[in-house]
Amino acid sequence: MDYASKIAVALNLRQPQVAAAVALLEDGNTIPFIARYRKEATGALDEEALRGIAAQLESLRKLDERRAAILASIDEQEKLTPDLQQQLLSAETLTELEDLYQPYRPKRRTRASIARDKGLQPLADLILAQPTAQATVKQLATPFVTADAPSVEEALAGARDIVAETISDHPDVRRVTREKALKFGALRVGKIEDAVDEKALFALYYDFSLRIDRIRPHQVLAINRGEAQKILRIAVDVPERDWQGAIKLAFRPHPISPLAGQLEEAANDAAGRLLLPAIERDVRRTLTEQAEAHAIRVFAANLRGLLTQPPLAGQTVLALDPAYRTGCKVAVVDPSGKLLTTDTIYPHEPHRQWAAALRTLADLVARYGATLIAIGNGTASRETEQLAAELIHATGGALHYIMVNEAGASVYSASPLARAELPGLDVSLRSAVSIARRVQDPLAELVKIDPKSIGVGLYQHDVDQKALAGALDGVVESVVNQVGVDVNTASPALLTYVAGVGPKLAEKIVEQRNDQGLFFNRRALRNVSGLGPKAFEQAAGFLRIREGDEPLDASAIHPESYPVARKLLKRAGLSESASLEERETRLNALKETNSFAGLAAELGAGEPTLADIFEQLLRPGRDPRADLPQPILRSDVLSMDDLTPGLQLDGAVRNVVDFGAFVDIGVKQDGLLHRSQIPFGTVLNVGDVIAVEVQKVEKERGRIALGWPGKKAVDWQVR
């Protein structure tokens, strides 16, 4: 099957690129490996394009599997004509296939099947044929009066049931009605009369109607949730002219046929009883699939932003996991992530041991040389923030604090991985350790948690969980391989996402590291049980070994390209131990005095690969996260009382949703930067540090409206 041509057209890519990518995927290569180390073959397709190709490939295979099943089913019924077979073979979407299959789909007992059992199919065929003979309806129907259909009226009623099902099942009728519904239909929503919506969460949809092609993904998901909670009722309205027009394209009553009225009556019955309910289900399913796909893309983009936040290396972190009654859990972690000590303080209600808590924290700062305070953003976080600010002032102001998204910390704390990493430590204290480590290296810590538990999207529990998990795992895999992993320090959770590794190999790598000591070169990974040539090929370039016996192992250069890298160094007159300054001078001079294409040919490498080697020799193993804005460190607390319209300040993007972005500006409630305030073409990501302007503060409702500095404020309402 020539999938490559179809995928190339669908994704607007060149067919040779797609064919090469498909061949590489079918040969067991991972997407990160293909994107990084097979650029010559694919024309430098990036990961996004490759994931699109992989998704299309899976979709086309599923389509063909379904096509084969349908062909077999109809053939078994002995109803597979050459024309129908050709239509099925030509169908390009699952919907088109199912429409063609609908008349032949095995059904439970229906009114039409009961009528067929009574021998009324010939009368139904007569109604469909619309004869123009000079005869009355009674004369045409009388031959079909039997013991099972003892009157003309009963015979006609049964025949109309067959006709109605035939009309509803007709592929063109379904297709045209569906297309019209998706374009001109309306989604009508109302509140169920006796339903209880205590917090009025769905008040916007108590009396709501909108054309289907204008409804937004977050509205679809909100409405679906309201329906699932039995608060909202939903209907799809299709204009009468649209469904009538669709039916008459295939079943037009003949103006002089005595059975014209029977066909019209059957058509109206088909629409109300069969066709429109089926189209409503199709439209609802289409809207939901589109909304879920959009929500998953937003969640994935937000997760990528969170995972790529720059690490704050070199910090000894004092972490606080806030709480009221059970006390704030404290953990101090050294710059390598090693736990130094833990404690519990009780500054808040009902204990109110504020002074004692300050003394404990000051002692920990002095004893362990803490340089940064990390505060989880859950319950009691803002009161704990006030405690940190007072501590900073009391200790001379050299310290700073940072608010940390603690979503998923409790999930990690109770996991087998946490028990293995922090044996003997109370579950509640493990959360504080996780918060500290999230500051030092967000990626290394967050990979220990199910991505769905990180909480950077909307309606994540309402969407297809398998699709969500697949998309989020893809993001984690992409970021981990983009950053690279130090094989001598990485946890099994982090190693799991390295291309070609997976959970079992990750455990074996760590097991060998623990049993036999550090890896001194990438070659030594070949000795890991189960890590064969294919896995080594996929993983080696993403695994870093620093201070080993092979300098190139600290870079993203793949071992298969070491000969080219050494030739390049020799061509530039450099040794492998040359300083970065010397490398920069000589390599740049080499590029300036030689044709890059000629240099690639001379060294026996493709131009994309040579360009990557140049970059790695100049910036070996550089963490791409280092180029991103650093997180905001604070030393004092703002409250909503401090906010006035026009005040400008920096904030960190916490979540990006359909209607804007939620921004942490250092007060208890994140502010909403509505989409109308974001300049056209500006793309915001989780973790971005941006300047915002306070537009409106509703203290009673806990709402802060933010604007883009210099952009005129507008009235808006989230719908």
Q: Is 60 helix (H, G, I), strand (E, B) or coil?
A: helix
Task: For residues 166 and 275, state if they share a domain.
Answer: yes
CA distance 344 to 426: 11
d(CA 12, CA 9): 5
The rounded distance, in Å, linking the Cα atoms of 483 and 626 is 10
Q: Residue 29: give its domain's CATH number.
A: 1.10.10.650
**Cα gap 561→600, rounded to integer Å:** 12
The answer as to whether 73 is a domain residue is yes
The reply to whether omega before 350 is within 30° of 0 (cis) is yes
pLDDT at 218 over 70: yes
| CATH number of the domain to which 675 belongs | 2.40.50.140
Strands 485-486 and 543-544: parallel
Q: From residue 281, give the alpha-carbon distance in Å to each of 187, 206, 699.
A: 12, 21, 43
- Report the percentage of the chain scoring pLDDT > 70: 98
Contact 210, 281 (CB under 8 A): no
Would you place residue 712 in the very low, low, confident or very high pLDDT band (cuts 50, 70, 90)? low
How far is residue 168's CA from residue 180's CA, in Å, rounded to a whole number? 15
Identify whether residues 469 and 555 lie together within a single domain.
Answer: no
Residue 389 has pLDDT above 80, yes or no: yes
In-domain check, residue 427: yes
Mean pLDDT of the chain: 93
Burial class of residue 593 in the structure, from the number of CB atoms within 10 Å of its CB (0-12 exposed, 13-18 middle, 19+ buried): exposed
- Which pLDDT belongs to residue 714? 53
Identify residue 22 by its one-letter amino acid code.
V
In a domain, 420, yes or no: yes
Average pLDDT, stretch 454-472? 84
Give the C-alpha separation, 452 to 462, whole Å. 12
pLDDT of residue 133: 85
Instruction: Take residue 57 and report the two structure tokens written for it.
Output: 């490939």
Amino acid at 120: L
How confident is the model over 291-305, as pLDDT tens digits?
999 999 999 998 998
With cut-offs at 50, 70 and 90, classify the pLDDT of residue 716: very low
**Residue 649: inside a domain:** yes
Exposure class string for 225-234: b at 16+ Cβ within 10 A, else e: bbbeeebbeb
Rounded to 5°, the CA angle 671-324-197 comes to 55
Tokens of 590: 């080499």
Average pLDDT over residues 96-101: 96
pLDDT value, residue 458: 72
What pLDDT, on the 0 to 100 scale, is given for residue 2?
Answer: 84
Domain of residue 549, CATH code: 1.10.150.310
What pLDDT score was predicted for residue 640?
82
Higher local confidence (pLDDT), 202 or 454:
202
CB 163 within 8 A of CB 128: yes
Which of 104, 139, 155 corresponds to the end of one domain?
104
403 conformational bin, left if phi > 0, alpha if psi -120 to 50, beta if neither: beta
Provide the token pair at 315: 């910090």
Could you tell me if residue 227 is inside a domain? no
Q: Are residues 151 and 251 in the same domain?
A: yes
> With 70 as the cut, is the pLDDT of residue 435 above it?
yes
Q: Are residues 244 and 123 in the same domain?
A: yes
The DSSP secondary-structure symbol of 208 reads E
How confident is the model over 85-105, as a mean pLDDT? 95
* pLDDT at position 457 over 80: no
Give the whole-angstrom CA distance, residue 54 versus residue 61: 11
The residue-averaged pLDDT of 80-91 equals 96
- What element of type H or E holds 383? helix 381-394
Is the pLDDT confidence value at 717 over 60?
Answer: no
- Spatial distance between the Cα atoms of 530 and 573, rounded to a whole number of angstroms: 40
Averaged pLDDT for residues 25-39: 97
Q: What is the CA radius of gyration of the chain?
A: 33
Q: Indicate if 438 and 392 belong to the same structural domain.
A: yes
- Tracing tokens 């280092």 back to the chain, one arrives at 626
> What is the predicted pLDDT for the residue at 713?
58
Question: What confidence score (pLDDT) does residue 189 get?
Answer: 97
Range of the domain at 663: 640-707
Mean pLDDT of 639-645: 84
Domain boundary among 104, 131, 152: 104
Q: Sheet with 401-404: list strands edge to edge.
A: 339-345, 328-333, 317-321, 372-376, 401-404
**Angstrom distances, CA of residue 649 to CA of 312, 663, 664, 672, 700:** 22, 11, 10, 14, 22
Do 553 and 605 lie in a common domain? yes
In terms of Cβ atoms closer than 10 Å to its own Cβ (0-12, 13-18, 19+), residue 430 is buried
131 and 247 in a single domain? The answer is yes
| Model confidence at 226: pLDDT above 80 | yes
- Between CA 67 and CA 90 the distance in angstroms is 10
pTM of the model: 0.86
Residue 367 in contact with residue 428, Cβ under 8 Å?
Answer: no
If one counts the domains in the chain, the total is 5
Q: State percent of the chain over pLDDT 90.
A: 78
430 contacts 319 by C-beta, under 8 angstroms? no
pLDDT band at 179 (very low <50, low <70, confident <90, very high): very high
Of 474, 496, 530, the residue that ends a domain is 474
Pairing of strands 543-544, 372-376: unpaired
Q: What mean pLDDT is predicted for residues 135-147?
A: 95
Q: Does 499 fall in a domain?
A: no
Helix (H/G/I), strand (E/B), else coil: 571: helix
Q: What is the CATH number of the domain that holds 412?
A: 3.30.420.140
Query: Does 340 share its domain with 285?
Result: no
Residue 167 pLDDT = 97
Q: Are residues 285 and 408 in the same domain?
A: no
Q: Report phi then psi at 658, rounded to 5.
A: -55, -40
CATH number of the domain bearing residue 179: 1.10.3500.10
The answer to whether residue 666 is domain-embedded is: yes
pLDDT, tens digit (0-9, with 9 covering 90-100), for 312-326: 989 999 999 999 999
User: What value, to the nearest 5°, has the Cα angle with vertex 91 and ends 88 and 97?
Assistant: 70
| 213 within domain boundaries | no
Residue with tokens 């799991």: 496
Q: Clarify whether residues 334 and 456 are in a common domain.
A: yes
Are 52 and 8 a contacting pair, CB within 8 Å?
no
Q: Specify whether 595 is located in the same domain as 529.
A: yes
In a 3-state reduction of DSSP, which class is residue 30? coil
CA dist., res. 336 & res. 62, Å (int): 47
Confidence band (pLDDT; 50, 70, 90) for 224?
A: very high
Pull the structure tokens for residue 552: 């190139």
Cβ–Cβ under 8 Å, residues 51 and 474: yes
Same domain, 351 and 422: yes
| 602 SS3 class | helix
Q: What is the pLDDT of residues 243-275, one digit of tens each?
A: 999 999 999 999 999 999 999 999 999 999 999
The string of DSSP codes covering 409-450 is HHHHHTSHHHHHHSTT--HHHHHHHHHHHHHH-HHHHHTTS-
Alpha-carbon 614 to chain mean position: 34
By the 8 A CB rule, do 519 and 487 touch?
Answer: yes
Q: What is the structure's pLDDT at 719?
A: 38
